[in-house]
């Protein structure tokens, strides 16, 4: 036998070539050693960013050049002010779109939509309509095809909204989000962002309610601004900048981890000796291969007009973050989905895998998506920017108060909107905000708010100087990058926007923002109505606004919390304040079907009762299915990978002991025997835990004793029985990982996956 010096050699010397069970792990280590950074197709030294940004987007610039003036103008009115587009114009737009796409190398188009799966969906259609009478190709794309598609909807979740006989769904063009060309190895596809509805008009997707919520927000915000004397404003939208966290691991490791392949997270794995405690990863210098990936993904995103801006190493080893420049809510949502897709694809090109799961590796930080949210008018003025004039200040305080009230009144719904199995592993785990919703305003603004609540007419600084006279002078300067910026708050005011930090990294931001837009719309409606009443009663509008702000803040102040959200004291304090603390998805989801939720969604035309219940059902089913898959996979890996390795080691140890006793008569092998005993005990414990995991559901595939699959009752059962049983199996298996011969261990270890690129 030749003894090699590399890792593969270690196996052959250990076990003799060919019979090695841990081969995939060792092969992975080998592969990673020889990886090189991959070059991107764009070289910025030749093509500057300004030349590639948006080249694959059918944006306003392109439309202005390609469309007749009247059509372009009508389209702009539709985009900026929500006016309906004359269907006759759609043919002209479609034709221009097709010519543009074909010139750039596209062969197909697709309606790109967002079913209730957290993913996107697409079915490609070629522009080719016939071979033509003379044998030449005829390519066509009509306004009708642009405006509406009819995909078979029967395989998308509807939560029971769509009856089975009505399998057809309809996709409808969303002109407010620009069409784009997606490049792939062998060509380009024209992607048209669309909504997705049933024949009866029920929303089967995430975009439709988002657009409806934006309409509701627009209506109430414009009404309030007009009331406050700001009459020029014609349209208000929310603005969103989602910071996206993710993990990268080498593809070779990924392929040797069936749990990460199928569940997006490691179901097993001992905590690595080195985690994040050295604090050496956060903002550390970015490794060459990773940076090559980031730059490549960014160049693809630039082409798609996605304004990615920041990149850095995050807290946990192998964890990173990317953030774009904020955009209007609908586009920011589409762009975040595109970003995730481009990141996934580009990672593969670089021999890496991008993990968006909230908690791929237990024992180190998980990933979230900080959803920065504000509102802006049609001139781009940020409505949450503290103003420079007394008038602007009043406006700022009114809008700020509306958000505070919304989070207080609908905190439960906000919590439910981010509830799913993955996020359960992260929220409240001393790294992410807790499941208790509260609002952080920072010290300066809290002083202002407290003075207002206490009915003071002016605010004085510690040296007695008047800093602010309400309704008369401007607000004191609110430092943007306050050193006391609170990283533990789920909903923090950060100078001129709110940062909703509890959103999960794998989630679409569509629904969390649908909730935000809707609950703020309701609050703006409330404030406008109250101010109107006072004005009708003869009060001056500014005085009325001040009073409504004061009263509303007073009523909702228990949601304000500037302290450490990770602390136990806050849990107790929040309980005293009566703030809900819904610890997991199963506790949070019923918020969807509460009367208040039905009322607000129907009142503002965002979701009908059926649509809401459908979404609740989808979420419940998704939770059940996720845990069920993890459960099945866990049994599978434990029985077919971990136990065989452990038993093999047990037999090796036993054989060694017997052989040694044979060879040396009377030798004392107590220590070795104890080693064997320890190992055997752990194996037994794993087996016992596995039996428990296998028994509670009667062993059948995703059904309890009553034959139920996905129901609220099943979800509760998964939460209370299956998850704890899974935790126990993991604990035992992870203990074995640090006992068993390393050469036999089949799964790449955390200490390898998180550090080796």
Q: Which residues contact ligand ADP by CB under 6 A?
A: 239-241, 243, 310, 323-326, 372-374, 382, 496-497
353 binds, among Mg ion, ligand ADP, none (CB under 5 to 8 A by kind): none
User: By three-state DSSP, how is residue 708 classified?
Assistant: coil
Cβ pair 299, 53 in contact under 8 A:
no
Using the contact rule CB under 5 A, the part of the chain among 242-250, 515-523, 600-608, 613-621 near Mg ion is 242-250
Residue 316 Cβ vs Mg ion, minimum distance, rounded to whole Å: 14
User: What is the rounded CA–CA span in Å between residue 315 and residue 426?
Assistant: 14
Q: In this complex, which beta carbon is closest to Mg ion, that of residue 243 or of residue 710?
A: 243
User: Which of Mg ion, ligand ADP, none has residue 326 at its interface (CB below 5 to 8 Å by kind)?
Assistant: ligand ADP
The residue at minimum Cβ distance from ligand ADP is 241
Integer Cα distance of 35 and 53 in angstroms: 30
**Helix/strand/coil for 245:** strand
Q: How far apart are CA 607 and CA 602, in angstroms?
A: 6
User: What's the min distance (Å) between Cβ of 337 and ligand ADP?
Assistant: 16
Of residues 368 and 411, the one with the C-beta less far from Mg ion? 368
**How far, in Å, CA of 149 to CA of 108, rounded?**
14
Nearer to Mg ion, 74 or 290 (CB): 290
Contacts of 13 (CB under 8 A, 6+ apart): 1, 3, 4
With CB under 5 to 8 Å by kind, the binding choice for 269 among Mg ion, ligand ADP, none is none
What's the distance, CA 169 to chain centroid?
26
Name residues whose C-beta falls within 8 Å of residue 19's C-beta, 6 or more positions apart in sequence: none
The nearest distance, CB 53 to Mg ion, in angstroms, is 22
Least distance CB 245 / Mg ion (angstroms): 9
**What x/- string results for residues 190 through 229 when contact with Mg ion is judged by CB under 5 A?**
----------------------------------------
Structure tokens at 557: 């102040």
Q: Terminal CA-to-CA distance of the chain, rounded, Å?
A: 31
Kind and range of the H or E run holding 106:
strand 106-112
Stretch that binds Mg ion, among 236-244, 516-524, 529-537, 615-623 (CB under 5 A): 236-244
Helix (H) or strand (E) holding 191: strand 187-198
User: Which two tokens mark 292?
Assistant: 């090559």
Q: How far is the CB of 500 from ligand ADP (least distance, A)?
A: 11
Q: Is 243 in the site for Mg ion (CB under 5 A)?
A: yes
State residue 159 phi and psi, 5-degree precision.
65, 25
By CB under 5 A, tell whether 587 contacts Mg ion: no
CB 679, min distance to ligand ADP, A: 47
| Residue with smaller CB distance to Mg ion, 116 or 322 | 322
CB-nearest residue to Mg ion: 243
| Phi and psi at residue 311, to the nearest 5° | -145, 135
User: Rounded CA gap, 585 and 419, in Å?
Assistant: 5
CB-nearer residue toward ligand ADP: 171 or 218: 218
Q: In this structure, are residues 350 and 292 in contact, taking their beta carbons and an 8 Å threshold?
A: yes
Beta bridge partners of 371: 242, 500
409 vs 501 by CB, closer to ligand ADP: 501
Nearest-approach distance from CB 265 to ligand ADP, in angstroms: 24
CB closer to Mg ion, 243 vs 546? 243
State the Cα–Cα distance between residues 619 and 615, nearest whole angstrom: 6
Exposure class string for 366-382: b at 16+ Cβ within 10 A, else e: bbbbbbbbbbbbeeebb
Work out whether strand 187-198 and strand 169-173 pair parallel, antiparallel, or are unpaired: antiparallel
- Name the token pair of 630: 């993890």
Place of tokens 């985009």: 79
- Is the separation of the CB atoms in 117 and 173 below 8 Å? no
Which residue carries 């009478």 as its tokens? 133
Cβ 480 to ligand ADP shortest distance, Å: 10
Residue 371 beta carbon to Mg ion: minimum distance, rounded to whole angstroms: 12
Residue 143 touches which of ligand ADP, Mg ion, none (Cβ within 5-8 Å per kind): none
Q: How many residues contact Mg ion, by CB under 5 A?
A: 1
Residue 325 contacts which entry, ligand ADP, Mg ion, none (Cβ below 5-8 A, type-dependent): ligand ADP
Please report how close the Cβ of residue 645 comes to ligand ADP at its closest, in angstroms. Answer: 42
In the complex, least distance from residue 314 CB atom to Mg ion, rounded to whole angstroms: 9
Taking the least distance from each CB to ligand ADP, the nearer of 442 and 748 is: 442
Q: Which does 107 bind (CB under 5 to 8 A by kind): Mg ion, ligand ADP, none?
A: none
Stretch of residues binding Mg ion (CB under 5 A), selected from 237-245, 374-382, 410-418, 449-457: 237-245
Q: Which stretch binds Mg ion (CB under 5 A): 66-74, 129-137, 241-249, 519-527?
A: 241-249
The contact set with Mg ion (CB under 5 A) reads 243
């Amino acid at each position: 036998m030749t003894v090699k010096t590399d890792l593969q050699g270690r196996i052959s010397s250990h076990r003799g070539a060919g019979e090695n069970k841990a081969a995939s792990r060792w092969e992975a280590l080998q592969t990673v050693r020889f990886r090189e950074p991959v070059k991107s197709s764009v070289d910025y030294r030749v093509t500057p960013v300004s030349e590639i940004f948006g080249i694959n987007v059918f944006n306003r610039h392109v439309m202005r050049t390609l469309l007749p003036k009247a059509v372009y103008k009508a389209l702009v009115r539709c985009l900026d002010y929500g006016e309906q587009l004359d269907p006759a114009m759609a043919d002209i737009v479609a034709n221009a779109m097709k010519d543009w796409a074909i010139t750039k190398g596209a062969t197909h188009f697709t309606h790109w939509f967002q079913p209730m799966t957290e993913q996107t969906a697409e079915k490609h259609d070629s522009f080719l309509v016939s071979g033509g009478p003379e044998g030449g190709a005829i390519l066509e794309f009509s306004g009708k095809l642009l405006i509406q598609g009819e995909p078979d909807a029967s395989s998308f979740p509807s939560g029971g909204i769509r009856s089975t006989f009505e399998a057809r769904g309809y996709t409808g063009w969303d002109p407010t989000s620009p069409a784009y060309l997606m490049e792939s190895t062998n060509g380009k596809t024209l992607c048209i962002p669309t909504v997705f509805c049933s024949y009866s008009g029920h929303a089967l997707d995430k975009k439709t309610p988002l657009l409806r919520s934006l309409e509701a927000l627009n209506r109430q915000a414009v009404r309030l601004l007009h009331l406050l004397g700001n009459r020029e404003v014609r349209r208000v939208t929310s603005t969103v900048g989602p910071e996206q966290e993710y993990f990268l691991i080498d593809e070779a490791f990924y392929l040797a981890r069936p749990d990460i392949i199928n569940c997006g997270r490691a179901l097993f794995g001992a905590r690595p000796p080195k985690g994040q405690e050295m604090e050496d990863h956060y903002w550390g210098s970015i490794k060459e291969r990773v940076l090559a990936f980031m730059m490549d993904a960014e160049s693809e995103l630039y082409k798609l007009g996605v304004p990615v801006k920041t990149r850095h190493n995050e807290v946990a080893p192998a964890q990173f973050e990317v953030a774009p420049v904020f955009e209007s809510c609908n586009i920011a949502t589409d762009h975040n989905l595109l970003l995730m897709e481009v990141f996934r694809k580009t990672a593969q090109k670089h021999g890496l895998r991008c993990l968006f799961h909230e908690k791929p590796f237990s024992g180190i930080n998980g990933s979230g998506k900080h959803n920065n949210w504000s509102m802006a008018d049609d001139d781009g003025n940020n409505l949450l920017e503290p103003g420079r004039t007394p008038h602007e200040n009043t406006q700022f305080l009114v809008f700020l108060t509306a958000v505070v009230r919304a989070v207080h009144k609908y905190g439960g719904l906000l919590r439910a909107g981010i509830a799913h199995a993955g996020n359960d592993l992260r929220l409240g785990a001393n790294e992410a905000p807790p499941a208790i919703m509260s609002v952080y305003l920072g010290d300066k603004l809290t002083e202002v708010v407290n003075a207002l609540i206490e009915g003071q007419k002016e605010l004085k600084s510690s040296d007695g100087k008047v800093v602010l006279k309400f309704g008369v002078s401007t607000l004191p300067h609110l430092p943007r990058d306050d050193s006391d910026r609170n990283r533990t708050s789920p909903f923090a005011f950060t100078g001129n926007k709110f940062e909703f930090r509890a959103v999960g990294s794998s989630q679409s931001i569509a629904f969390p923002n649908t909730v935000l837009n809707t609950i703020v719309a309701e609050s703006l409606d409330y404030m406008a109505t109250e101010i109107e009443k006072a004005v009708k009663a003869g009060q001056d509008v500014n005085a009325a606004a001040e009073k409504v702000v004061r009263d509303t803040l007073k009523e909702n102040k228990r949601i304000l919390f500037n302290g450490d959200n990770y602390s136990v004291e806050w849990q107790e304090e929040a309980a005293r304040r009566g703030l809900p603390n819904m610890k997991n998805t199963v506790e949070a989801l019923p918020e969807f079907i509460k009367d208040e939720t039905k009322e607000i969604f129907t009142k503002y035309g965002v979701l009908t009762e059926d649509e809401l219940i459908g979404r609740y059902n989808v979420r419940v089913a998704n939770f059940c299915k996720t845990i069920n898959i993890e459960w099945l996979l866990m049994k599978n890996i434990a029985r077919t990978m971990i136990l065989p390795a452990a038993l093999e080691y047990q037999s090796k140890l036993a054989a060694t002991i017997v052989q040694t006793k044979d060879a040396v008569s009377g030798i004392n092998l107590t220590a070795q025997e104890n080693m064997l005993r320890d190992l055997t005990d752990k194996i037994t414990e794993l087996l016992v835990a596995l039996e428990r995991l296998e028994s509670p559901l009667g062993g059948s595939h995703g059904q309890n004793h009553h034959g139920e699959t996905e129901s609220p009752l099943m979800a509760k059962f998964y939460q209370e029985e299956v998850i704890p049983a899974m935790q126990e199996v993991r604990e035992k298996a992870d203990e074995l990982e640090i006992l068993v011969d390393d050469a036999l261990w089949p799964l790449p270890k955390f200490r390898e996956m998180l550090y080796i690129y």
